[in-house]
Homo-oligomer: A and B are copies of this chain.
C-alpha cells in the first residue's frame, strides 16, 4: 500500500472515497459550503490546526505572527501554538484584549469549546486571517442556522461521529495556495494520513449521510435526543440550588431538523456562584473531574465538564453533583 492516493488533487494523500463522503455529508447536513472548496485531510483536526498556522505564515518576518482567540478559548491552543518555539507564529492570548499591530491569526471556535456559545471573530482588522474551528457545528450539539462559508474550516471525525481514535480531521479551504501549503505541512510532518482510518471514516460518514434520509434511524437526530435528555437532567440538578449556574442558550431554527431547538453542547461550562475560589479543586474533592477555567484564559470559578461520557459515567456525575448540593444546602440549613 503506497503513500499516494491521487497525485492529481491538491491533497495528494486524501482518499477519493473519503473526499466524496465529506462533501456528501456537508451537503446533507447543510452546515458548510464545500462546492469549489479544497478538502485537506489530517491526523485529527489538531494536525490541521498546525497545518493552517504554517500555511498562513511565512519565514523571514520581523516577529512571529500573533495568534489569538476570544476567552474562554480551547485550552490546548496556547501550548499547541507555542511548544515548538516557532519564529513563524506565537500565542498572544485573548482576542478581546489584543492590541498589537501587524498581522495576526484569530481562531474562531463555533460553537465554542468550552462554553458552547455561537460566536464570530472579535478583532476584525484587515491584516488578520481567520481559522474557523467548527468541530462542534453538527446537529446533535447545536442548531444548524446557516451553511458556514469561511476561508479555513476545521472539522473532525472525533466530534462529529465519536471516533476520536481514528485521528481523522478535515479542512475545507477556499484558497488553493493555502490548501497546498497545508498539504505540504502534513507531508513534512507525517507524509500523509492513515489510509485505513480514511477508508473506515469514509464508510461511516457515508452511512451517516444515508441515515439522515431515514426517519427513526437518523444518526444526528438520535444524537441530539440523547444530548437533549442529558442537558435536561443536568439543568434539573443544577437548578435545585443556587450553588452552580450554566450558560443560557437561545432557541434557534435548525435547518437540518426543520425545528426550533436549543444548543446541547458537548461540554458544560459550569460556574460556581458562591465563594469557592477554585472550582476544579473543589469538585475534585467530590470525585468530579473537570478542567479549570484558567486553562481556557478564564477564571477559576469556571470548570469545563464533559457531557459525552458513557451512560454510567454521566449518571455518576449527576449523582455526585446532586450530593454536593445536598451537602452544602444541609450545611447552610444547619447554619454552619
A207 at the interface (CB under 8 A from B): no
A87 at the interface (CB under 8 A from B): yes
Q: How far is the CA of A199 from the CA of B166 in the complex (A)?
A: 11
Among A2, A5, A42, A162, which residue has the most Cβ atoms of chain B within 10 A?
A2
Interface residues on A, range: 35 or more
Picked from B54, B76, B194, the residue with its CB within 8 Å of the CB of A83 is B54
Binds B, one of A116-124, A184-192, A265-273: A184-192
Binds B, one of A43-51, A104-112, A287-295: A43-51
* Pairwise interchain contact A166-B196, C-beta atoms closer than 8 A: yes
CB under 8 Å from chain B, chain A span 152-180: 158, 162-168
Picked from B46, B87, B189, B196, the residue with its CB within 8 Å of the CB of A191 is B46
A39 at the interface (CB under 8 A from B): no
Q: How far is the CA of A158 from the CA of B3 in the complex (A)?
A: 9
* Pairwise interchain contact A167-B189, C-beta atoms closer than 8 A: no
Picked from B46, B85, B87, B195, the residue with its CB within 8 Å of the CB of A190 is B46
The distance from the CB of A61 to the nearest CB of chain B, in whole angstroms, is 10
- A sample of 20 inter-chain contacts (CB < 8 A) reads A1-B163, A1-B164, A1-B165, A2-B164, A5-B165, A44-B190, A44-B191, A46-B189, A79-B188, A84-B84, A84-B88, A85-B87, A85-B88, A86-B86, A86-B87, A165-B192, A166-B195, A166-B196, A167-B190, A190-B190
Seen from chain A, the residues whose Cβ lies within 8 Å of a Cβ on chain B are 1-3, 5, 42-44, 46-47, 50, 54, 59, 76, 79-80, 83-88, 158, 162-168, 185, 188-197, 199-200
Q: A80-B188, A166-B196 are in contact. List 4 more A-B contacts (CB 8 A).
A: A3-B165, A46-B188, A54-B83, A196-B196
The 4 A-B residue pairs with the shortest CB-CB distance in the complex, in nearest-first order: A194-B194, A165-B195, A1-B165, A85-B87
